[in-house]
Amino acid sequence: GTSMATPHVTATAALLIAAGTTEPDMVRDAMQLTADDRGKEGWDKKYGHGIINPPAALAYQPPPAQNELVLRKLSTKATSQRRGVITWRTNQRATTMVTGDDGFVYEDEELLKGHRVVVKAAKNAEVVFTVTSESSGGNTVTDTVTWPFPMVEE
């Protein structure tokens, strides 16, 4: 029991901390909420929260704070050698903005959850696009994607 579990829990905690999850409550939640349940459903005396699952613990994303704006499913798709589409979703209605380090700018103030922007660039350029969304409450989320031109699928 404990003699076998301790090194596994300690190693998983060390992996989580090395990956940037440093708050004790967050480390504990990542391990407990992703454990493979055994025995009676939920916590029980024999298995506790279950069998630790290090890959699932490392992949665990805590739920966002109630008003936090979250960007999900950022993806790219080439439509030609010099054009492509960047899409993403937000958990709240938010504005759409994409800027490229080559001077490309697209802005739309309409509040949406699904965002789609056609981008283009000069031939033989590598462009870093920054996607930004802002909710009506003023919460902002940003991510980046680097794309070589001529366009190729990532």
Q: Look at residue 99 and tell me whether its pLDDT is greater than 80.
A: yes
Question: Domain check: are 52 and 104 in the same one?
Answer: no
Question: Domain check: are 7 and 75 in the same one?
Answer: no
Residue-wise pLDDT for 16-33, tens only, equals 999 998 889 889 999 999
- Give the range of the structural domain holding residue 93, as residue numbers without chain letter: 71-148
Residue 73 sits at φ, ψ, to 5 deg, of 55, 45
Residue-wise pLDDT for 109-142, tens only, equals 999 999 999 998 887 788 999 999 999 888 899 9
Mean pLDDT of the 80-104 span = 91
Mean pLDDT of the 53-75 span = 86
Reported as a pLDDT band with limits 50, 70 and 90, residue 104 is very high
Q: Decide if 89 is inside a domain.
A: yes
Give me the pLDDT at residue 66, please.
Answer: 67
Give me the pLDDT at residue 148, please.
Answer: 83
Question: Domain check: are 32 and 79 in the same one?
Answer: no
- How far CA 1 is from CA of 5, 32, 40, in Å, comes to 6, 16, 17
Question: Domain check: are 14 and 44 in the same one?
Answer: yes
Question: Domain check: are 75 and 132 in the same one?
Answer: yes
Residue 29 sits at φ, ψ, to 5 deg, of -60, -45
Nearest to 102 by CA among 88, 116, 82: 82
Reported as a pLDDT band with limits 50, 70 and 90, residue 153 is low
